[in-house]
Structure 1
Amino acid sequence: MSSVDNERSDDAPPQPPVTDHQRELAAQAMSEFEMGQYVNCSKTMSQLADARPTDVKVILNRSVALFYQSQCKAVDEFRHNIQTVFTMARISPDLSEKSNLDDADYAVVYYNKAVILYHEKQHRAALSILEKLFKYIEPIDEALAQKVMLLLTELYLSVHQPFDAWRMILNIEKFLSGKSQSSQGDKDKNDSNNAGAQEALKAKLNLYKVRCNLMSKQMKNKKEYKALQGNSPPVVYVKAYYEYLKGNLKKAAKMLGNPPSSHLSPSTGECLAVLYHNNQALINMCLKKPNFGICQIRDALKFNEKIMRDAVPNDKARPPLQLSYVSQHYVLLYNLGVLQLHSQRPSLAFDCFVECVQVYHRNPRLWLRLAECCIMFHRENNDVDREHRHKLEVIQASVGSGFHHKLILGQGVQKDRKVSASGGVFPTLNLGFASFCLKNAFALLPVDSLDVKSPPPDEQAESGPPPTDPVLVSAEPGNPLRETEAANLRCSILAASAYVALCENEYCKALAHAVNLLRQPNLTAAQRYLGHMYKGEALVTLDRIADAIDELNPEKVTDISTSLPEANNDQEKELDGLAENRMLRKYIFLLASLVKWSPDSVTVAKGLMQYNLAVAYAMRTDYDKSLRALTESSEKVGSPIPVQMFYLKLYLDLKQGNKKAAINVINEHFGYISRS
């Protein structure tokens, strides 16, 4: 509540002088409010409002008292009263117009509105108001100014802007430093209480700093981390997250401790049971235990439903403002989808992601996950072509007998390809929708630095120095992506796009995606291998055989690891030496190792590349070279041989008129079928 006096702004309606009795009522109401006697405070403020019906401060303070009297449940009434204050004071509700804040009379009104928006999860709307209010921070009351800056810090973290939050923390520290210097001569008996409050505030600011560092993955600032004190849940969970990013998974799980109770905090609206089971699930995913993680995420969802029932026991009951929007349903559902995808359940993961994309539609990583579900549903892994069931389909049937005995070959591994009739717009598990998702994912990434032309030196001088903050890409509900992470994500999107385009017979698009992929500077060896493979396949289908043969040279395959490449130049090596970059590289390698990738050796990778080379030779009717390449390929790939090699071997033998060799292949591998 704010104090009542006879100061007014130029645009506010004139007010009569404040009498001594009215001052006594205001002091009494303030005392009752501070003691939590909200009913008595409301009655006192009503008496004061009867005496001063046009006083904006009185109307606002009575609204606050009535709101607290309702146990913070009468949100609509409080919002209406705040709007009434804006109307009476003739000021803009969103601070978009020139407002009379020179004497800071109405700063508390904007702050109260921002608090409502914050608890209603309208973080950007609240941020818009407080950023404008921050311009008038100097004349505002010190206590209110401190609350404004703390709420701004929380809002910046809520919208994943850690660098803005860090600057606001520095403003708060500067504000506190000036405040302590000005009050050195005003010491009294309450100094011990003030010192305790200051220490608590410093601890809170230090926790904010650690959260900023973790959100931006600035791991080198260990000073703030070591300064964390106490065993409060926020401190414990921040420490566990720090160890998680360092790759110390078992230590992070141990720091989380035992499962807490499913109690809902009445002040913050957080449930530790939900946070605990969610965090343990993600740790178990990184420990390659996705099925165990799924069970824990489902427990977290159950606890989330329970706290929602506790907060809103029936349809008529209205929960307090701070408990109105406490559900973590979509965050948990997103994590459940990731775990289902790691458990090779693309259909279940797809259902989770489709529901989440309605909320987190600006997350490029989520769109990629949707596409990965479609790709996995279309083709589970790279070893499916070695399965016996596909081998049984090479020879579909045999007809006739004796001299007229004939074999009917199958239609190949692509006979089950399904083309989307909807154009990929509607969410269905097919490659058409995967292509749509990949386009969205690519569009949400920042412009590729390779496509940005640097301006001339004179224009650079006019535009001033470039921004110092690193580029962050929104990836809610997770932390934002750093520039290097966005570049890695771009490579994954391009690789998936090239594969989907090949499967959809869009060979020009596949070639464009593969070329774009190969020009990226931070490709993993596996992605570079796929880029050459996809580019070669696209060139073959476009009848550019000579270019395809050069692209499919197996001798170029020297590495297929999924780890990030080492630094090439001095600047990159200097960045790579930083602690946070080393930890980030370790964390990315940990995530990359969760998925078993095939081919798992350079020899097998060369063999698969050589098979595509054999196809290219066959397309050029160079059957001898094709047969030699196929023979070497089958030796490198090993047993069981992918079914495509049988089709190509039979084709080459028949084209060369080598009927005996074709019969030997059939008798050796399919004799039980031909005899039947």
Structure 2
Amino acid sequence: MDTSNVVYPSSEDDRERNLAAKAYAEFEGKNYSNAVTCLLRLAQFRQLDPRVMHNNAVASYYNGGLKKTDDFLKGMRSVETQLEKCAADTDDEVLDVERAVIVYNQALVQYHTRQYRKALSKLESLFKVIEPLVEERLGRRICFLLIEIYLRLYQNESASKMIAYVEKTVTGAKSGEKDAEGFLPDPSSFHQKTHMENLPLLYQYKARLSLALRSMKACKRDLKLLMDSTGGGNQFPLPLYLKAQLEFVRQNYRKSTRLLNSAPRSPAVLPSGESLLSIYFNNLGCIHASMKKHNLAAYYFRQSLVENDRALASFAPMSRAARLTGRPLTCLGLNRRYELLYNLGSQLLHCGDPVEAFDCLLEAVQVFHTNSRLWLRLAECCIRAIQKDENVTIGSRADGYKSKVIQSIIGSGLHQKVIVASYSQDKSTSAHGHGAAMPTLSLEFANICLRNAWQLLPRERDGAAESAEQGGAANGASEVYPSVHSIPPIKFSEVPSLKCSILACSAFISLCLGDYVMALEYGTQLLARANLSGLENLLGHLYVAEALINLGRLQDALQHLSMEIASNFNLSSTDDKASSSGPASGKPASDPKKEEVVCLLPGCTMTWNAGSAKAILFINLAVAYTMRKEYDKARKALQQASSSVRGQDLPPQGVLLAVFLELQAGNVSSVLHLLKRNQTGMAGRSGDRGNKKKR
């Protein structure tokens, strides 16, 4: 908070000057109650002086421990109104400086309440007239706060320009003055001692900017300068946390963990308004998430939530009438619950717990409702929950065994019948007492989430522009979509991949809901996009083919289920993208080097690899041939599906199709053999040829 000294004309009497000087001295000595007393006495002589009103508001705010922010903002508005009245009567440059102080104070409050864009608008307007302020503390504070906000909004280019300006102007360095280690001006060139105190902050900003730009060498150099300027050692947590983040970006996860463990972890809230324990556990969660240890990452995110709530509980709750009163200014933005819920929800989705993940992400969307990736994750939770319910219910029996092919066996002897599982049930849940817009784990709500995700993505950077951006983003320093307050931020280079995931999920949900026209449209749009991964290309063909089959266009469907598509399928480039993996699984991207069990079809659990993906395509091809009554071609396609998944069983749909084809050929013994392999309850009773299958 800036508290510039009040300047009075020489015509003031000695009494007023003495009161002003005494108030300033008391304030600088942190005797805020005495400063308020002096300013109130001074206000008796100068009741309408905006400078006295301003300094009285600032001193009163400090006297209350910076906890009555609502009253302070109200006082700033009164001072601003009085300044406008005075400006109409006189052309006083001091009033312009006083107006700059008010605008800065308002921007500072907005920064601490995380209204970064509003604060940025005010500070940029001040920076246009910063020349008369640059030699004052106010000028330096404006510059440093601008850098902080640029970094928080991921506007790296603007932050870089502002850092260069601070190096050249505010710290008194000459243009191009560097030593072997980089910028390190001679302390004797500083105009004031405060310039030397700004160096650690400047090196901190440079290190954070280098991290954002993925400039590892420059970041390492700036961190060394930061450690030297703070005296080194482990008593300062920020340099160690930045070093841990550097190792995290370099994928040295063990070293990053060691650095975090060596940093101080006080349970108390720092004066800067941060909970070190909450940050510590959150960082450990991010590290383990990158190591694909999702259950452990979820544990650490839960611990971070606990520490976040504990830090909030150390302050009195704020009322709705005065929501900025009762907590120090620096602690107004202490709550990080919603970011942590997003992190926890994404890991729970990886862990196969879509219900709890949905609850976490749904709470986070209250704050980050403009985040496209968050809406996509909500849709994935709905898809995964529906499929998880199918895997539990299909083929279950009360007498102790389960089968994903056989639902039950009724009768005995010659009258025994086998009831096969059905995979054609209606997945719609909106008719069960909930509207489509109700936040529930339904495919209808997932459809709404996907439309929100699509609408929140930028429209003007499509086609060739997106492809060019993808090529230029190899170093991770691509531009961030500026209009979205994101967690993590969405880069322009990630937009094409997100669009592919949204289209694939939309096609899948449309098929489940029986809207085959929209499924065909989404699938066609997906296949028309450039730089599709192998998985997205396969899903696009599968979804389009299924939609065409349901629309009665079998010949067109066969073109999307050709042998050429299966032979050209490649899974190696599917997981290095910013989007999720297959919408059929509803799971975010995973390590391509690590096999993972993924449900590709309802009731189907197969090890996800290129062979199982080809098997799905061949099964669909066999279905298309069966509908055309080309049974020989259907059998050959099923044989190719079996050869693609050597050592594994076909999914239930493939088994049921094989049963149907064998029945068409009259091979009852083969049918019984297939059913025995998928139903232990038939052992010892399957020799009777009178067994029948009910479809």
TM range (shorter): 0.7 to 0.9
Deviation at 1:354, TM superposition (A): 0.6
Task: State how far apart, in whole Å, the 2-side matches of 1:137 and 1:73 are.
Answer: 29
| Counterpart for residue 51 of structure 1 | 45
| Counterpart for residue 99 of structure 2 | 106
Which moves more between the two structures, 49-58 or 358-367?
Answer: 49-58
Change in Cα spacing, 1:551 to 1:133, as seen in structure 2 (3 Å) is: same
* 1:513-552 CA distance string (max 9 Å, x none): 2222223333222222222222222222222222222211
SS at match of 1:257: helix
Task: State how far apart, in whole Å, the 1-side matches of 2:352 and 2:83 are.
Answer: 61
| Counterpart for residue 205 of structure 2 | 208
| Counterpart for residue 240 of structure 1 | 244
- Contact 1:510 1:535 (C-alpha < 8 Å) held by counterparts: yes
The amino acid that maps onto 2:382 is C
Deviation at 1:616, TM superposition (A): 0.9
Deviation at 1:72, TM superposition (A): 1.1
Task: State how far apart, in whole Å, the 2-side matches of 1:540 and 1:92 are.
Answer: 77
| Counterpart for residue 409 of structure 2 | 397
* 1:129-154 CA distance string (max 9 Å, x none): 22222222122352211111111222
- Contact 2:154 2:480 (C-alpha < 8 Å) held by counterparts: no
Task: State how far apart, in whole Å, the 2-side matches of 1:484 and 1:394 are.
Answer: 47
Task: State how far apart, in whole Å, the 2-side matches of 1:663 and 1:179 are.
Answer: 87
The equivalent position to 2:286 in structure 1, one of 268, 282, 285, is 282
The equivalent position to 1:374 in structure 2, one of 366, 379, 382, is 382
- Contact 1:419 1:504 (C-alpha < 8 Å) held by counterparts: no
Task: State how far apart, in whole Å, the 2-side matches of 1:35 and 1:591 are.
Answer: 62
Deviation at 1:346, TM superposition (A): 0.7
- Contact 1:507 1:538 (C-alpha < 8 Å) held by counterparts: yes
| Counterpart for residue 2 of structure 1 | 4
Deviation at 1:28, TM superposition (A): 2.3
- Contact 1:391 1:643 (C-alpha < 8 Å) held by counterparts: no
Task: State the Cα RMSD in Å.
Answer: 3.7
The equivalent position to 2:430 in structure 1, one of 398, 401, 420, is 420
Deviation at 1:246, TM superposition (A): 2.1
| Counterpart for residue 572 of structure 1 | none
- Contact 2:110 2:116 (C-alpha < 8 Å) held by counterparts: yes
Which moves more between the two structures, 74-83 or 224-233?
Answer: 224-233
Q: How does 1:86-105 map to 2 (within 5 A)?
A: 86-90=80-84, 103-105=96-98
Deviation at 1:75, TM superposition (A): 1.9
Task: State how far apart, in whole Å, the 2-side matches of 1:121 and 1:4 are.
Answer: 30
Deviation at 1:282, TM superposition (A): 1.8
SS at match of 1:156: helix
The amino acid that maps onto 2:448 is F
SS at match of 2:314: helix
The amino acid that maps onto 1:611 is I
Q: Does structure 1 residue 158 correspond to structure 2 residue 152?
A: yes
SS at match of 1:114: helix
- Contact 1:4 1:26 (C-alpha < 8 Å) held by counterparts: yes
Q: How does 1:593-608 map to 2 (within 5 A)?
A: 597=598, 599-608=607-616
Task: State how far apart, in whole Å, the 2-side matches of 1:372 and 1:101 are.
Answer: 58
Aligned pairs, number: 622
Deviation at 1:58, TM superposition (A): 1.3
Deviation at 1:59, TM superposition (A): 1.3
Q: Does structure 1 residue 649 correspond to structure 2 residue 646?
A: no
* 1:74-108 CA distance string (max 9 Å, x none): 22222221111111111799xxxx99898434211
| Counterpart for residue 255 of structure 1 | 259
SS at match of 2:15: helix
Q: TM-score by structure 2 length?
A: 0.80
- Contact 1:364 1:440 (C-alpha < 8 Å) held by counterparts: yes
The equivalent position to 2:170 in structure 1, one of 171, 176, 189, is 176
Which moves more between the two structures, 540-549 or 79-88?
Answer: 540-549
| Counterpart for residue 178 of structure 2 | none
Deviation at 1:34, TM superposition (A): 1.4
The amino acid that maps onto 1:414 is S
Task: State how far apart, in whole Å, the 2-side matches of 1:6 and 1:192 are.
Answer: 32
The amino acid that maps onto 1:375 is I
Change in Cα spacing, 1:114 to 1:453, as seen in structure 2 (3 Å) is: closer
- Contact 1:290 1:342 (C-alpha < 8 Å) held by counterparts: yes
Which moves more between the two structures, 278-287 or 171-180?
Answer: 171-180
The amino acid that maps onto 1:249 is Y
Change in Cα spacing, 1:526 to 1:228, as seen in structure 2 (3 Å) is: farther
Which moves more between the two structures, 541-550 or 442-451?
Answer: 442-451
Task: State how far apart, in whole Å, the 1-side matches of 2:286 and 2:504 are.
Answer: 26
The amino acid that maps onto 1:363 is N
| Counterpart for residue 183 of structure 2 | none
Deviation at 1:590, TM superposition (A): 5.4
The amino acid that maps onto 1:644 is Q
SS at match of 1:203: helix
Q: How does 1:258-273 map to 2 (within 5 A)?
A: 258=262, 260-273=264-277
* 1:569-614 CA distance string (max 9 Å, x none): xxxxxxxxxxxxxxxxxxx875996965555333332222111110
- Contact 1:507 1:541 (C-alpha < 8 Å) held by counterparts: yes
Deviation at 1:472, TM superposition (A): 2.5
The equivalent position to 1:410 in structure 2, one of 413, 417, 420, is 420
Q: TM-score by structure 1 length?
A: 0.82
SS at match of 1:379: helix
| Counterpart for residue 133 of structure 2 | 140
Task: State how far apart, in whole Å, the 1-side matches of 2:367 and 2:502 are.
Answer: 21
SS at match of 2:128: helix
- Contact 1:412 1:647 (C-alpha < 8 Å) held by counterparts: no
Q: What stretches of structure 2 of length at least 5 have no aligned partner?
A: 176-186, 467-476, 578-588, 599-605
The equivalent position to 1:78 in structure 2, one of 63, 72, 80, is 72
The equivalent position to 1:128 in structure 2, one of 121, 131, 136, is 121
- Contact 2:500 2:536 (C-alpha < 8 Å) held by counterparts: yes
Q: What stretches of structure 1 of length at least 5 have no aligned partner?
A: 8-15, 182-189, 455-467, 568-587
- Contact 1:395 1:407 (C-alpha < 8 Å) held by counterparts: no
* 1:328-365 CA distance string (max 9 Å, x none): 11122111112211211110111001111000001111
Task: State how far apart, in whole Å, the 2-side matches of 1:385 and 1:211 are.
Answer: 51
| Counterpart for residue 625 of structure 1 | 633
Change in Cα spacing, 1:473 to 1:600, as seen in structure 2 (3 Å) is: farther
Deviation at 1:177, TM superposition (A): 5.7
Q: Does structure 1 residue 198 correspond to structure 2 residue 198?
A: no
